[in-house]
Amino acid sequence: NFGVDLSFCCFLRFDEIKEGDVVRHDGKRSDGYLEHIFKHAAKELFGMDVKEITYKALKNKDFQEVTLEKDGETVLRFAAAYGFRNIQNMVLKLKKGKFLYHFVEVLACPGGCLNGKGQAQTEDGKPDKALLNQMEEVYAAIPVRLPETNMHVQKMYQDWLEGMDSKKVQETLHTKYSTVNQTASNLDIKW
């Protein structure tokens, strides 16, 4: 349940937030929830305080892996998959049972949200690398604050979720997965 604090940020009332209250999560770009969850999981599950994360590019720069080793054994394996090609490859591996990740951060746009359609593009539809770099610099200048230290998140837990370990937290912010029996249907999506 280490990703719980990130699950309900959309419920915050933005009219209560002043300009000085704007903060971001760990990460250098619009992605970065992976970084926060990885560091939190390392600390909560294995007692390890991870300061810096090293991404290892796999097939391309938009499919990367982050691992945590303890006593010579890989105990956490996270991935970042950006762009539909990488998402499709990830789904295929998952179907084949060859997917070894504990957590995957998925973004539809290659390069992350700041590089999304309608964002940093020239008139001919190509990425405007200079503008993208400038947006990343502005984003990186926003102060980092852990979600669990945010007063709005704490207030949400107290007022709406009835405490950190309440039944409402379990029902609202946690998901259980189970196998679904496949049925023959023309609506099945073939990746």
Digit-coded pLDDT (tens) for 92-135: 888 888 888 999 988 887 766 666 655 667 778 777 778 878 87
The burial class, CB within 10 Å (0-12 / 13-18 / 19+), for 125 is exposed
Instruction: Look up the pTM and report it.
Output: 0.65
Judge contact between 11 and 147, C-beta under 8 A: no
Q: What is the DSSP letter of 54?
A: -
Domains of the chain from N-terminus onward: 22-115 (3.40.950.10)
Rounded to the nearest integer, the mean pLDDT of the chain is 77
Digit-coded pLDDT (tens) for 3-30: 333 333 444 444 565 655 666 766 656 5
Residue at 123: amino acid letter: E
In the chain, what are the helix, strand and coil shares in percent, each to the nearest 5? 40, 15, 45
